[in-house]
């Protein structure tokens, strides 16, 4: 296993972690000042500041971009909606490219309207078919510009609204269908928050291998967890066997960043410096 | 598919659904008065009234007992805890037998102490090994008295505290390991609340077949879901494709009760008669 302590070059901060405290330029500045190696910016945060300005700041800072969050949300209730999603994903690919991101993370979507609390139908099989088609179409373009797509399985508790791909196995089945040659053009973003519970996790990580493991996200699963979205824990505060899972990931050939992504009402209420201190300390000791 | 409308003999009420409104004798009385076919009592509710009295009331009422909730919680931090769990499960088998239950439902447990908010370790692999041993030991006794064990996979969001078996596939793997002859001595309790999201659901239901499908529980998954435990929906109020899943279950050979099990702060706040009205109406129209 790689030695993390004393080497922040492998640490990446997903910028959602500090979205309530700081605007994106200040997050980038704070990460660079700490010697952190990379960031993974969110699209809305980039749009708020302007793509060109963010790209310039990141390049000047020397930070790597471990991923770009996020494309996806492919399902729709009609043809116009499906087309609009594809166009938006094409733009997301271009933005990821402009930022020099290692991959575009895909949160694939699920039942149309569910995220707004008004699902337009219940046919998750249809949503899954639309997701497959959407990734396939986006992949064609992404391949042409050289931007890897990282399908992120989300926790099953987010399966109605955010992603109808909820296991690493399912995500890898899609990768195999679209890229049987394992070219690296499509793979997975593995987030331990979403996948820790899976009895097939070790085997599917090995199956994924170096070509499919495009991103690795860490935080922790708190006991009890009090909210289905915004109660993620800082690494070490929950029950995920972080060291064990990272060993599986690295044994499979993953050599990329360790990205901290924490959606948490608690951590969003703390000063940014305190959050970064905690990320660095836990990255160095328990991840 | 079986026709449910106009025939309440296949309807079962899991008594947790009304646990905040009525004591167990009143629940049994209300179900019998409506012509509902069965109940599935919870162990704490039975203990509060006395096993013999409950068994007598159920027998006199003519209600069937579609299951007994619940055995399980096998993992423990030490040998004494493991032994105590086995002894308690043996008692649960005896109680299920005294009640004439169709099966003893097993919520298998997970990290010791996690249910109380203080997990004693993080090794879910160890918990899973203890669960396998615990079911094996309990099965030996349950076979000898003729009480089928129904392993219930719980939603992955409850995987740290309540059950480290979170997919139908995993539950069936355990059944196959312990009962390769498919004798009916061990199978699964399939609850759509826990399993609706699973992309392998249809295939695993077919794999389970008549010999392994020992109970079928319904409610609904609300969008949004606001609580990880007590925000289940009444059938038809959420996004589960109830009719589609029941078709799979019955095509696999299941001929037992349709059990309504709703943990819900909302429904617990409504009058018992209103809840039963809703259960009957939705059973007859959307399940």
In tens, the pLDDT along B9-51 reads: 999 999 999 999 999 999 999 999 999 999 999 999 999 999 9
Q: Are A117 and B223 within 8 A, CB to CB?
A: yes
CA distances in angstroms from A257 to A34, A115, A216, B51, listed in the order given: 16, 30, 7, 58
Q: Are B223 and A159 within 8 A, CB to CB?
A: no
Distance from CA of A93 to the nearest CA of B (A): 28
Q: Are B117 and A224 within 8 A, CB to CB?
A: yes
In tens, the pLDDT along A127-174 reads: 999 999 999 999 999 999 999 999 999 999 999 999 999 999 999 999
Select the residue from A115, A157, A161, A222 to test the B interface by mutation, using most B Cβ atoms within 10 A. Answer: A157
Tell me the mean pLDDT in the region B60-74: 98
Tell me, what's the pLDDT at B98?
Answer: 98
Q: Which residue has the tokens 């994903």?
A: A89
Extract the residue ranges of chain A whose pLDDT is less than 70: none
CA distances in angstroms from A108 to A89, A138, A269, B19, B33, listed in the order given: 11, 12, 29, 39, 48
C-alpha count within 13 angstroms, C-beta hemisphere, residue B42: 19
> Using beta carbons and an 8 Å cutoff, which residues of A are at the interface with B?
111, 114, 117, 119, 122-124, 128, 155-157, 159-161, 164-167, 170, 196-199, 221, 223-226, 228, 239-241
3-state secondary structure of A63: coil
Beta bridge partners, A259, equal A12, A217
Residues of A in contact with B170 (CB under 8 A): 199
Q: A74: which 2 tokens?
A: 């492919």
CB A49 within 8 A of CB A82: no
Q: What pTM value is reported for the model? A: 0.98
Residues of B in contact with A119 (CB under 8 A): 223, 239
Spell A90-121 as b/e; 16+ CB within 10 A means b. bebbbbbbebebbbbbbbbbbbbbbbeeebee
Residues in chain A: 287
Distance from CA of A227 to the nearest CA of B (A): 7
Tell me, what's the pLDDT at A3?
Answer: 96
Q: Which residue has the tokens 């970064």?
A: A276
CA distances in angstroms from B255 to A83, A106, B3, B104, B249, listed in the order given: 45, 42, 12, 17, 9
Tell me, what's the pLDDT at A169?
Answer: 98
Tell me, what's the pLDDT at A230?
Answer: 97
Distance from CA of A213 to the nearest CA of B (A): 21
Query: Which residue of chain A is at minimal alpha-carbon distance from B129?
Result: A199
Tell me, what's the pLDDT at A217?
Answer: 98
Tell me, what's the pLDDT at B136?
Answer: 98
Q: Select from A122, A228, A239 the Cβ nearest to the Cβ of B114.
A: A239
Tell me the mean pLDDT in the region B73-91: 98
Q: B189: which 2 tokens?
A: 């309790």
Query: Which residue of chain B is at minimal alpha-carbon distance from A245?
Result: B123
- DSSP secondary-structure letter at A116? G
Query: Which residue of chain B is at minimal alpha-carbon distance from A123?
Result: B241
Residues of B in contact with A199 (CB under 8 A): 128, 164-167, 170
Dist. CA B156–CA A193, nearest whole Å: 11
Q: Are A111 and B223 within 8 A, CB to CB?
A: yes
Residues of B in contact with A123 (CB under 8 A): 241
Size of interface A-B (CB pairs under 8 A): 87
Q: B111: which 2 tokens?
A: 């990290």
What percent of chain B lies above the pLDDT cut of 90?
100
Dist. CA A117–CA B103, nearest whole Å: 37
Tell me the mean pLDDT in the region B235-253: 98
């Amino acid at each position: 296993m790689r030695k993390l302590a004393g080497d922040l070059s492998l640490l990446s901060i997903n910028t959602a972690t500090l979205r309530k405290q700081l605007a994106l330029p200040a997050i980038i500045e704070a990460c660079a000042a700490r010697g952190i190696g990379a960031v993974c910016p969110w699209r809305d945060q980039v749009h708020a500041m302007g793509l060109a300005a963010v790209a310039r700041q990141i390049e000047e800072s020397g930070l790597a971009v471990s991923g770009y969050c996020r494309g996806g949300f492919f399902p729709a209730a009609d043809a116009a909606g499906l087309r609009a999603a594809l166009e938006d994903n094409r733009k997301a690919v271009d933005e990821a490219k402009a930022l020099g991101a290692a991959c575009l993370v895909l949160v694939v979507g699920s039942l149309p309207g569910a995220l707004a609390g008004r699902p337009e139908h219940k046919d998750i099989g249809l949503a899954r078919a639309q997701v497959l088609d959407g990734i396939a179409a986006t992949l064609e373009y992404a391949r042409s510009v050289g931007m890897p797509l990282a399908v992120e399985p989300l926790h099953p508790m987010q399966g109605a609204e955010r992603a109808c791909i909820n296991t690493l196995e399912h995500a890898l089945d899609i990768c195999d269908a679209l890229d049987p040659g394992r070219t690296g053009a499509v793979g997975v973003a593995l987030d331990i928050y979403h996948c820790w519970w899976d009895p097939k996790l070790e085997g599917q990580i090995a199956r994924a291998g170096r070509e499919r493991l495009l991103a690795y996200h860490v935080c922790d699963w708190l006991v009890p967890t009090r909210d289905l979205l915004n109660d993620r824990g800082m690494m070490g505060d929950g029950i995920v066997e972080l060291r064990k899972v990272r060993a599986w990931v690295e044994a499979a050939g993953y050599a990329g960043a360790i990205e901290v992504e924490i959606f948490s009402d608690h951590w969003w209420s703390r000063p940014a410096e305190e959050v970064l201190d905690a990320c660095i300390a836990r990255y160095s000791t328990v991840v």
